[in-house]
Structure 1
Amino acid sequence: MIGQAEAWRMGADTWTALTGAMGDDHWDKPSTCDEWTVRELVDHTLYWQGMAGRLLSAGTQKGDDWNTLHSAISAALDDPACLEGNDERFSDMPRHRVFGLMLTDLLVHSWDLATSIGAEIALPEEAAEAAMFGLQRMPVEMLRSPNMFGPEVEVAADASAQNKLIGFVGRQP
């Protein structure tokens, strides 16, 4: 299985391709996330990827654009030590677990964005597997708490890693 750094980079490439394909007419469309437009979905994703940058001490600032976040986080991930230790901002959770949630956020919202704008989406299988590996090691009560993930949607045992991830977080693949 690939590591979180490589999985994040794969997810970031997917996000970059999707946002690059967006037209002006996409921004105000409803998204797959209840009560959010596509613009709000993108803003949410940028906010949490900015948090990922701060988690990794990548020098990111609130309000940074995607290209800035992408470059800074990629550079920070070149040093495996950036994922070591615990983070007091997240109840002293291990930094690699917090980053795993941010990886999941990037992948799932890439799927949400593609679905919302009618684009084809194929999350990198290895990245989806890495995200699932991390999620399966998190407390279920935390994952299913308000503002996290909905109830799991069952998928076939032989479903793709993408569909397993999407179903796990409560979306219908």
Structure 2
Amino acid sequence: MGEFEEQYWQRADASGAERIAARYRRRADAFGAKVDAVREGQWGNRSPCEKWTAADVVQHIVDMHGVMLTPLGRSLSAAPAVADDPAAAFRAARADVEAVLADPALYGQECDTPSGRLTALQHIDQVVSQDLPLHGWDLAKATGQDDTIDPADVEEALSGVGAIPEETMRMLRTPGAFGPGVEVFGPEVKVGADAPPQDRLLGFIGRDPRWRP
């Protein structure tokens, strides 16, 4: 590869990383705003995830940030526990992941994942970044907030889940298939063919769009 071609691909890789980082930041901003808007006394509210409270939703997101760091030999920084300060716990976990997204030497490292071998950048983009809008919906429903998911995130997620092979989808719907206590998708909730895209996405991943506390 000549010098010009090498510089071109380096710029292209950097541009792609910047887009992924920007997408993560946008989603983290939206999730963080929902965390900040939870009122005192609401953290024990039930969520659409049958076994989780509102606080459990945030705990899951914080834990998944830690999962993104583990293959890199890193862990979450010392921070308040979710039980004590959910907003501070999320901000700290977010900062740890953003530090990876800002460092090519880190985000370019490859790791083994349930989806195959990915760079840390791809892993973050495909897992915790995509988790944020969906679990933002859970938190919003649990605490009476606006539960609208960004249409761009809905479109991207619908496209992604629609491309998952049937065998893989069965595993994703099987509790414990990816580790003890891990449940990725629940059984599909049927919605009408003319349902809005957000409802179709939620139904596909096992959420009832009509769920109420």
TM-score (norm 2): 0.65
Q: 1:20-169 counterparts in 2 under 5 A? A: 20-54=36-70, 57=72, 59-61=74-76, 64=79, 65-78=89-102, 86-88=110-112, 90=114, 92-95=116-119, 96=122, 99-138=125-164, 139-146=168-175, 147-156=183-192, 159-169=195-205
Q: What runs of 5+ residues in structure 2 fail to find an aligned partner? A: 1-18, 80-88, 176-182
**Which one has a bigger Cα radius of gyration?**
2
| CA-based RMSD | 3.1
Indicate the larger mover: 43-52 or 69-78: 69-78
Count matched residues.
Answer: 171
Indicate the larger mover: 78-87 or 101-110: 78-87
Quote the Cα distance in structure 2 between the aligned partners of 1:124 and 1:58. 33
- Identical counterparts, % of pairs: 30
In structure 2, the partner of 1:16 is 32
Q: What runs of 5+ residues in structure 1 fail to find an aligned partner? A: none
Q: Which has the higher contact order (CA 8 A, sep 6+)?
A: 1
TM-score (norm 1): 0.77
Write out per-residue CA displacement over residues 126-173 of structure 1, whole angstroms, 9 at most, x where no aligned residue: 123333333334421232121121122344556544333222211122
SS of the counterpart of 2:148? coil
**Alpha carbons 1:100, 1:134 under 8 Å: kept:** no
SS of the counterpart of 2:174? coil
Deviation at 1:28, TM superposition (A): 1.2
